[in-house]
Amino acid sequence: MKRILTALPVYNEESHLRDVLPQVQKYAQDVLVVNDGSKDRTGEILKTIPGIKVLTHAKNAGYGAALVSAFSYAMEHGYDAVVTIDCDGQHQPALIPEMAQALFANDDNPDEPNIDIISGSRYLKAFNGDSIPPEQRRAINVQITRQLNQLLGYRLTDTFCGFKAYRVSALKGFKITVFGYAMPLQFWIQAAHLGTTIQEFPVPLIYLDEKRSFGGSLDDAKIRMAHYQDVIQQELTAIEDGSRFADSVSCR
């Protein structure tokens, strides 16, 4: 039986924890919450929820940093897969088992390559009750997705969805150094370089808080897009000149 870890990066999620975590526990084997330096009552509430594991960053290090901590935990504790899901109520925990199962769907078929990443897509299929995404966020997602597809030869439809399943053995090749919200861009570029096998998985499009903050200047769409472009260019350059994987290659 495959060992599956479900990980939730959280930052100031006191209003969602008691609703989301019990739902996640219904569908997950083991649940890890990475408390990324929350300043509200998140830490206190997590202590009252039984049956979960908690990692705490003393200071807010960023969404990408929380994912790296989850990946490292999965590797260190011998899990076969890690499913990442946000804690803001915008993902459906009931899809966790199906997503994890899809990750290993080809394992017994010698004619098909193993799948390394199942990536949730909010734009692969329409669901009843789908939200209308905030215009600027959707526009940036479309532009970045198109750009990465052209650069890397992908056929992705959603590069920013946080609902994913990862084969832990495949994560060992990554060297993540971008710890904020742009981390997925670095991840996709490294995935292409490492020959990672990716399959998208349709998930509902749900926006419960259209004004949710990226933090600081990144709330400005133009600044956020410029930052994303910097990350893409820097990662492409680091891979091209050989500096990204010159030393030990690790996701930690």
CATH of residue 32: 3.90.550.10
Mean pLDDT is lowest, of 62-66, 188-192, 211-215, for: 211-215
Sheet architecture: strand order including 81-84: 53-57, 30-36, 4-10, 81-84, 164-167, 117-121, 198-202
In this structure, what are the phi and psi dihedrals at residue 117, rounded to the nearest 5 degrees? -140, 130
Cα 123 versus chain centre, distance:
16
Cα–Cα dist 7/83, whole Å: 6
Say if residue 127's pLDDT is above 70: yes
Tokens standing for 132? 């209308």
Cα dihedral 117, 165, 89, 26 in deg (nearest 10):
160
Q: Is residue 251 part of a domain?
A: no
Q: Is residue 74 part of a domain?
A: yes
Full domain range(s) for residue 11: 4-240
Task: Answer yes or no: is 42 within a domain.
Answer: yes
Kindly state the average pLDDT of the residues 173-189. Answer: 96
Average confidence (pLDDT) over 142-148: 96
Domain count, the chain: 1
Pull the structure tokens for residue 245: 């994987």
In a domain, 47, yes or no: yes
pTM over 0.75, yes/no: yes
Buried b (16+ CB within 10 A) or exposed e, 32-71: bbbbbbbeeebeebbeeeeebeebebeebbbbbbbbbbbb
Express each pLDDT in 194-227 by its tens digit: 999 999 999 988 765 545 555 667 778 889 999 9
Residue 199 belongs to some domain of the structure:
yes
pLDDT digits (tens, 9 = 90+) for 17-53: 999 999 999 999 999 999 999 999 999 999 999 999 9
pLDDT over threshold 80, residue 135: no
Which pLDDT does position 130 carry in this prediction? 65
Among 141, 188, 144, 142, smallest CA distance to 166 is for 188
By C-alpha distance, which of 84, 42, 87, 88 is closest to 207?
88
In a domain, 50, yes or no: yes
Distance CA 117, CA 200 (A): 8
User: 248 in a domain, yes or no?
Assistant: no
Question: Is it the case that residue 107 has pLDDT exceeding 80?
Answer: yes
Instruction: Determine the Cα–Cα distance for residues 22 and 51; give it in Å rounded to an integer.
Output: 10
**Do the domain assignments include residue 246?**
no
